[in-house]
Every structure is written in structure tokens, then in C-alpha cells.
Structure 1
């Protein structure tokens, strides 16, 4: 059973030129490799964004259940200043 399938796509001229330039430079062996690399990067970005959204949602739920965990902007600044002071002393 084949693990790949052929797909026909239409790209703007600038993108076609960019793909061909990547192949011509030797960075990639074929146009298909360039497209696969782009899709892998897109999927990785989407995965990272989904993970961030999940983490943000969990943080929001934690703050909803215990608002005392929240920091004011001044509290954040104070923590950052203290951390910076510790780092610059070392």
C-alpha cells in the first residue's frame, strides 16, 4: 500500500519561484520536499498554538476557581524586577 498520494496544487507565481529557489540552492532535493517541509512547519505551529490555548484555558479556570492566585500588573513588575536583580548579581 502506498504511503504517499499525488496532489495537484496551484500557487501564486511568487510562491512557485520561492519553492524552485529552495530546490535550486540545494537546500531541498525536490519541490515536493519544500512543500512537505512547509506543511510540517504549519502543523507544528498549529499544534503549538493548540497547546498554548489549552494551557491558557487551564490557567483561566484555575484563576476562576481561586482568584487569590492572580497578580496585579504591579505585582508582576515587582516579581520581574526581583528576578532581574538576582540574575544581574550572579
Structure 2
């Protein structure tokens, strides 16, 4: 594993810089991951998926927005 980290860290000053960058990116990504997990949980709670009909959807949107 050490050799792999050293190869990945080639563009950094040293392996520690690489690990710090990975940690920072992981911390930045954490809120987005939490939002995604919440959206997935909400979808699961809604039950089985329903069939989607594009024409019906377009008709509803036109009616809702007053477009012919």
C-alpha cells in the first residue's frame, strides 16, 4: 500500500501532502454525499416507482404553465 500511495503522490511534494489533499476533498464532498443519501432515502420511502409517460408529462406542464 505504501508503494501505491507514493505513486499517487508523484505530483505532490510528498505522501503527506497527498493524504492531506485527499482528506480535504473528502471533507468538501461530505455535505453533498449526505444530501444524496437523504434523497435516496426519500425515494425509497415513497415506494415502488410509477410508470412515466412523456406525453402526459408534457401535457401537464403545458397546462400548468399556460403553453399550447
Give the structure-2-normalised TM-score.
0.48
Structure with bigger RCO (C-alpha 8 Å, 6+ apart): 2
